[in-house]
Copies of this chain bind each other. A is one copy, B any other.
Amino acid sequence: MRCEVVAVGTELLLGQIVDTNSAWIGERLARAGVDCHFQTRVGDNIERIVVALQVALGRSDAVVVCGGLGPTPDDVTREALSALLGAPLVRDDEVLARIRALFAGRGRAMAPSNERQADVPVGATVIEQRRGTAPGLICPVRPAGGAGGSSAAGSVIYAVPGVPREMTEMVERAVVPDLQVRMGQRSAIVSRVLRVWGEAESALAERLAPRLRALDVAGNPTIAFLASGTEGIQVRITAKADSPEAAGAVLDAEEAELRSLLGEHVFGVDHQTMESAVAGLLGEQGLTLGLAESMTGGLIASRLTSVPGASTWFRGGVVSYAGEVKFDLLGVPPGPVVSEPAARAMAEGAKRVLGADVGLAVTGVAGPGDHEGVPAGTVVVGVAVGEASEASRLRLPGDRTTVTQLGAISALDVLRRRLLARGGDDSG
């Protein structure tokens, strides 16, 4: 099964937006065992979208066309599909009602231009939209002499919105499963990601080297490393078996093997984040958290409150950006603010002022440049639990944004390991 991606948008060609959608779809197709040999970008132009789709259909069995489903006049993917398929657009009452209801629910009037989003080429199936207004489309293409794809059963075009969060949801829920049915896939390819923090990719590879060599010989499962920017490293296990259940059992066994080698460096699985790991430990131990952050400027609070149910364990935070806020509000004693004593005092202050069981504090210099003699990239993390408090000094690489992001996840990791140790003590 070969599937191409056609990304629609003049802004992509002009370089005003980098086309991350195609990369995401390509990765997702590869994981599903679908070959993606070509990806095309084309502007908001009916004739040229048709050309791009024709070329893609001439080489492949399926095409995901992404973007151009919005309500404005430059959104013409529906019209291009209609022209290509020779299928007139018919307004779908059910879709229209859904869009109307969406606007009504937001207390806003629906502009007449939104009605276009309910237009569906005759013969196409609607993919329900769950995160926005424009539905997706599944358009079967009848085989044509010479111009059809390699599949005798005809090809298919999937149209999905260009808004990434709408696109990804729709591809996961509707496009990949439909492709799998068309492939008649009997073997299951399943992946699981172990999320790791605290070691460089090369160190990790060395730690796992004997296991990787053994798997190279066996061939199943396979292991891949993927650096994910400031969110650590992903170790992806991919297993192939006759059924999803059998593949899952292979994943379970390999996960246990890798965890025995990686220990506390593993903070989560698949989409679990560092903040959800911290949330889990706080919940298990019945503790509430108060936060004091300066350098990270609210980023840690923002990450923690993105975890569903955060209100059960998150009391709140103080973003002590100005020095006076540290002294007056958190009771930090006079002295250098990027220091172990200050970080400990901030953690104790956060715990006290916010009425929490645990205080976490971060102070540091994000840069650019030194601050009061402290080099950029210096971060001190304070943790206060019960009567005890401690501080860890880190040195992080990168520019202002990177140091801030690494500082946030590093601080959460310090807290995670502290809570793990505490949990271990309790149970010991």
Contact = CB atoms under 8 A, between A and B. Distances in A.
A20 B18 contact: yes
Contacts of A300: 298
Contacts of A24: 15
A16 B192 CA distance: 10
A19 B17 contact: no
A73 interface: yes
A176 interface: no
A220 interface: no
A157 to B, nearest CB: 17
Interface in A84-125: 102, 105-108, 110-114
Nearest to A73: B205
A333 interface: no
A19 B397 CA distance: 25
A417 interface: no
Contact of A27 (B15, B311, B324, B397): B15
A329 interface: yes
Copies of this chain assembled into the complex: 2
Contacts of A291: 319
Contacts of A224: 10-11, 44, 74
Nearest to A9: B226
A77 interface: no
Closest 3 CB pairs of A and B: A297-B305, A298-B301, A15-B27
B30 A14 contact: yes
Contact of A317 (B18, B26, B304, B319): B319
A238 to B, nearest CB: 8
A225 B68 CA distance: 11
Interface string A219-233: 000001111010000
A160 to B, nearest CB: 15
Interface stretch (A31-39, A137-145, A253-261): A31-39
A339 interface: no
Q: Quick one: which of A37, A59, A234 has the most chain B CB within 10 A?
A: A37
Contact of A106 (B19, B38, B297, B397): B397
A363 interface: no
A186 interface: no
A229 B11 CA distance: 15
A73 to B, nearest CB: 7
Given A18-B18, A40-B39, A225 B74 contact: yes
A355 interface: yes
Interface in A44-63: 44-45, 48, 51-52, 55, 59
A201 interface: yes
29 contacts: A11-B236, A12-B26, A12-B39, A13-B30, A14-B191, A16-B193, A16-B234, A18-B19, A22-B41, A37-B43, A38-B40, A38-B52, A39-B40, A40-B41, A71-B205, A72-B202, A73-B205, A73-B212, A105-B397, A291-B319, A297-B302, A298-B300, A298-B304, A306-B404, A310-B321, A315-B324, A316-B322, A318-B318, A324-B355
